[in-house]
Structure 1
Amino acid sequence: MVKTPNFDRVATEGVLFNHAFVSSPSCTPSRNAFITGKYFWGLGSGANLWSTLPEKHQSFIHLLADDGYVTGRTVAKTWGPGNLDNWMAHHGAHPSGKAYKTFDQFLDSTDAKQKPFFFWLGTADPHRPYEKGTGAKSGMDISKVHLFEHYPKSDVVRSDVADYYFEVQRWDRLVGSAIAQLEKHGLLENTIIIITGDHGMPFPRGKGNLYDSGVRVPFAIRWGREVKSGRIVEDYISFADIAPTLLETAAVKIPNDMNGKSFAAVLKSEKSGFVDPENRSDIVFGRERHTIAQDKPSRSGYPSRGYRNSDFLYIRNYQPELWPAGTDKRDSNRKLTPFSDCDGGPTKNFIVTNKDKNDELLRTFQLAFAKRPAEELYDLKKDPGQVNNIANDKAYAKVLKTMKDKLQRRLTVLNDPRAKNPDYDGFYQYPYFGE
């Protein structure tokens, strides 16, 4: 339904990764994990949306610049959102490099045609708000729009997803223009191109959630003759792994405090499927405070962690008394609409407004907005949509314990403060600079 010829080209001429996951399904911590090569929970205030990044954390883009790379970014969304004043005062520059209006301007006004370069082509697409009806007006048949299992089968929802597709396609055209510039200047074959997103779509049970609809992202890499084309790789990779991978391919020393692991060997392999199953057959991720949307006076978020492999998804919700998408009251810290930790839009409105009309709509509402138990477990072979929680099913008691233990071991190795203290409240003390 959605047409992404430039993403498809990169995937076909390079490597498509089927199991790429963000460290956290929220803009700021997701991008912080990308630039630092560290899991979000080790970044202090950088673990929260609309906060800061402590000065002690370095950007791998600066390390490339120190090694002679020309670096730049678009004016549109790259790092953030949040406040970088102290970080930039300490480091002397934006973590993503100098801003340029377009990739063309970067190439034409720097030495990037002669020297190695890094450029972050960012965009607000497909972030909300959308112009309602753009998908249908562009010629999309909304009856053919794919819906996650946790959405009601409604034309209102399908049209909203089509509007999302419209912005995805606009982003894909921007990528195409950048690829055309690389070809024009003879740079394409020696440039590593990565296309991905920083979290799931801004819809209920998507962005801000630890299901695949929130943490699993499209991910394709093209690197000319250096990488065998046409490969589909199943190895699990995290956003925290990108920085050490790019530093390794650039022959720049990887800092000891980066706990992401390079997947350069997987990238350069000629194999498809699982290339390194011993080390890359599972993944961990989590979230802390997205927005301040709980009942007053709480400034907490919705702390949770997830552990996933090809068979099961396990989620630990540390404070199940809280609301996963924000309080149901209007008088939250944000003083906006109920469930304000979920982006507003026609899909959210439809689910909330129609929840009492039938059992199907009530179930979609509960999946998106209702309080959740302390533990969730999903059998991905039987339930790929991750909507049937089997954590209390005695038949899965052994699996539940195994997944819980594996999550705890990984979090301990990766120095997550919640591994030692599940009630840790340090993340709530950091500033929130959002509206």
Structure 2
Amino acid sequence: MQILKKILLGLSLVFAFSCSETKKEGEPKERPNIVWIMLEDWSPDLGCYGTKGIETPVTDKLASEGIKYTNAFCTAPVCSASRSAMMTGFHQDYIGSEEHRLKQEEKEPLPYGIKPMPLLLKEAGYYTALMASNKTDCNFEADIGFMGNDWKNRKKNQPFFAQITLQGTHRKWERDSINPIDPRNIELPPYYVDTPFARRDWANGLEQMQICDREIGVLLDRLDKEKLTDNTLVFLIGDNGRCHIRGKQFLYDPGLQVPLIIKWPGKIKPNQINENLVQTIDITATILEVAGVTPPQELHGKNLFKEEANNREYIFAARSRMGSTHDAMRTIRSKKYKLIHNLMPERAWLQYSGYKEDMYPMLAEMNILNMEGKLNDIQAKFFAPTKPEFELFDIINDPYEINNLANDKKYAPIKEKMLASLNEWRIEIKDKGVTPEFKAGGASSKYPTRTLEEWQKRYELWKSWVFRSPTEKMNHPFVKKHY
């Protein structure tokens, strides 16, 4: 038996892990349980990714027990479009789910015979549970396939799939009374102002992630106590990038890059770091293949445990309507370069968005400083009344995506090649582009969206919230509901 175990542990498909054990003909194949932990609005701002100031021992340990992906990206920089893609394994534009957030009466059935991934798992005999939050947030009308809210309700020995959404990292954010973060220990990107207010807001987000880290610990402890760990494949990801200025809703890396950690005892060797370009829809393809399910249509996502997902030259992503805010952007990214095509360059990056103005404290402070002429060139760039049609960045030498090379003749061949590939992809996913109706619709694109005096009033209201103590209970200054 010990020899057999060693042989099984040594088998791998690629990158030192295997999807399935070898079985004798006719012998039933044991299918793993699958737990998908989803953080809302969170980039790789974790201790194991090198983020300063934060302590996340649970996720750090999880990463040490499996694979940490350092180039994982969602397909849309907002939850409903990104989740629609992940629930199906197809880019959101291809299935008509690109606009955030569709009203119920606007949703249409999935095209081309596509079925949501949990429904396919249910039909294959899995118990499917939606836990911690009932949020699916899909921009289509369909039976998603979830059967209950806890895997404890499954039949005896029935494999289960559980998607667990932790909503804490979605703004508003709670302070961490157990382990408060000193804002002097954090590091801000250079396109933000470095003020006590900005540092405290950033630290508050990291504190919320520390709370979620402990929640993840409770969940993993439960798997241990129920003796499920050894036969459970665990994914930890974010649904889209961080909810800060220049993050969520935009196609820069902070809006698209997410943590991706996978643990599968006996199948995935520990302490692995994967630098390949992967996307969140790859998780969908991986889960279905591991569960032995063949979808009715070939997915856009690819199995992470196979070479097809580890040899990409590019990843792609798109942004369309966000609530009442109309804008459209497309991007293609390699390991070295990113090209963004702004389809509506006449509009400001920061045209009106009720969500951002009600949830981003730094937006008030930086608008004030911009109007007073106190931002430096890097910080002021994002507050311009229009944007360039194309943005090209050398990610290796310019990781903060500050220096636009799109008009530099030296990089013209790179731009041309990437744009051709981006346009080919847009055709493949049936991208509608920008219609005259879309261009004329939505909230006002007038910019700036408020006067200096109006921003100053909002800033004063933000102060007590941002600087509240770790134990202080306080109402949010603008929003009573959770977006």
**TM-score of the alignment, normalized to the shorter chain, above 0.5:** yes
Contact 1:194/1:219, CA 8 A, preserved across alignment: yes
Contact 1:290/1:341, CA 8 A, preserved across alignment: no
- Determine the structure 2 residue equivalent to 1:364: 379
Cα–Cα, structure 1 residues 254 and 319, in superposed 2: closer, same or farther, change >3 Å? same
- Determine the structure 2 residue equivalent to 1:183: 224
Aligned-partner residue type, residue 108 of structure 2: P
Gaps of 5+ in 1: 101-105, 267-274, 294-300, 328-333
Distance (Å, rounded) in 2 between the aligned partners of 1:429 and 1:151: 31
Secondary structure of the structure 1 residue equivalent to 2:379: helix
- Determine the structure 1 residue equivalent to 2:82: 30
Deviation at 1:410, TM superposition (A): 2.6
Q: Deviations over 1:2-39 (max 9, x none)?
A: 11122112211110111111110011001111101000
Aligned-partner residue type, residue 312 of structure 2: R
Aligned-partner residue type, residue 109 of structure 2: E
- Determine the structure 2 residue equivalent to 1:395: 410
Q: 1:383 aligns with which of 388, 398, 408?
A: 398
Q: 2:146 aligns with which of 89, 97, 118?
A: 97
- Determine the structure 2 residue equivalent to 1:285: 317
Q: Deviations over 1:119-147 (max 9, x none)?
A: 1111211111235xx26984311011121
Q: Deviations over 1:345-398 (max 9, x none)?
A: 321111112214455356424325642111001111221110111111222222
Deviation at 1:109, TM superposition (A): 3.3
Aligned-partner residue type, residue 423 of structure 1: V
Secondary structure of the structure 1 residue equivalent to 2:338: strand
Contact 1:204/1:342, CA 8 A, preserved across alignment: no
Distance (Å, rounded) in 2 between the aligned partners of 1:254 and 1:29: 21
Distance (Å, rounded) in 2 between the aligned partners of 1:58 and 1:358: 52
Matched, 1:348 2:359: no
Secondary structure of the structure 2 residue equivalent to 1:321: coil
Matched, 1:80 2:105: no
Q: 1:139 aligns with which of 164, 168, 180?
A: 180
Cα–Cα, structure 1 residues 325 and 51, in superposed 2: closer, same or farther, change >3 Å? farther
Distance (Å, rounded) in 1 between the aligned partners of 2:134 and 2:350: 24
Cα–Cα, structure 1 residues 61 and 343, in superposed 2: closer, same or farther, change >3 Å? farther
Count the aligned residue pairs: 388
Q: 2:248 aligns with which of 173, 198, 207?
A: 207
Contact 1:196/1:218, CA 8 A, preserved across alignment: yes
Contact 1:77/1:124, CA 8 A, preserved across alignment: no
Distance (Å, rounded) in 2 between the aligned partners of 1:217 and 1:125: 16
Cα–Cα, structure 1 residues 259 and 323, in superposed 2: closer, same or farther, change >3 Å? same
TM-score of the aligned structures, taking structure 2 as reference length: 0.74
When structure 1 is superposed on structure 2, of 167-176 and 363-372 the one drifting more is: 363-372
Distance (Å, rounded) in 1 between the aligned partners of 2:333 and 2:197: 32
Cα–Cα, structure 1 residues 67 and 426, in superposed 2: closer, same or farther, change >3 Å? farther
Distance (Å, rounded) in 2 between the aligned partners of 1:341 and 1:366: 18
Secondary structure of the structure 2 residue equivalent to 1:210: coil
Task: Kindly name which structure, 1 or 2, has the bigger radius of gyration based on alpha carbons.
Answer: 2
Contact 2:81/2:138, CA 8 A, preserved across alignment: no
- Determine the structure 1 residue equivalent to 2:461: none
Deviation at 1:291, TM superposition (A): 1.8
- Determine the structure 1 residue equivalent to 2:63: 11
Distance (Å, rounded) in 1 between the aligned partners of 2:379 and 2:365: 10
- Determine the structure 2 residue equivalent to 1:330: none
Deviation at 1:401, TM superposition (A): 1.1
Q: Deviations over 1:216-262 (max 9, x none)?
A: 11110001111121111111111222211110111111231522222
- Determine the structure 2 residue equivalent to 1:331: none
Deviation at 1:48, TM superposition (A): 2.7
Distance (Å, rounded) in 1 between the aligned partners of 2:384 and 2:235: 34
Deviation at 1:45, TM superposition (A): 4.1
- Determine the structure 1 residue equivalent to 2:344: 319
Contact 2:69/2:274, CA 8 A, preserved across alignment: yes
When structure 1 is superposed on structure 2, of 391-400 and 245-254 the one drifting more is: 391-400
Deviation at 1:78, TM superposition (A): 3.1
Gaps of 5+ in 2: 1-52, 444-481
Aligned-partner residue type, residue 398 of structure 2: D
Cα–Cα, structure 1 residues 146 and 136, in superposed 2: closer, same or farther, change >3 Å? farther
Matched, 1:236 2:236: no
Alignment root-mean-square deviation, CA: 2.8
- Determine the structure 1 residue equivalent to 2:434: 423
Contact 1:289/1:302, CA 8 A, preserved across alignment: yes
Q: 2:329 aligns with which of 280, 304, 320?
A: 304
Cα–Cα, structure 1 residues 363 and 194, in superposed 2: closer, same or farther, change >3 Å? same
Deviation at 1:161, TM superposition (A): 0.9
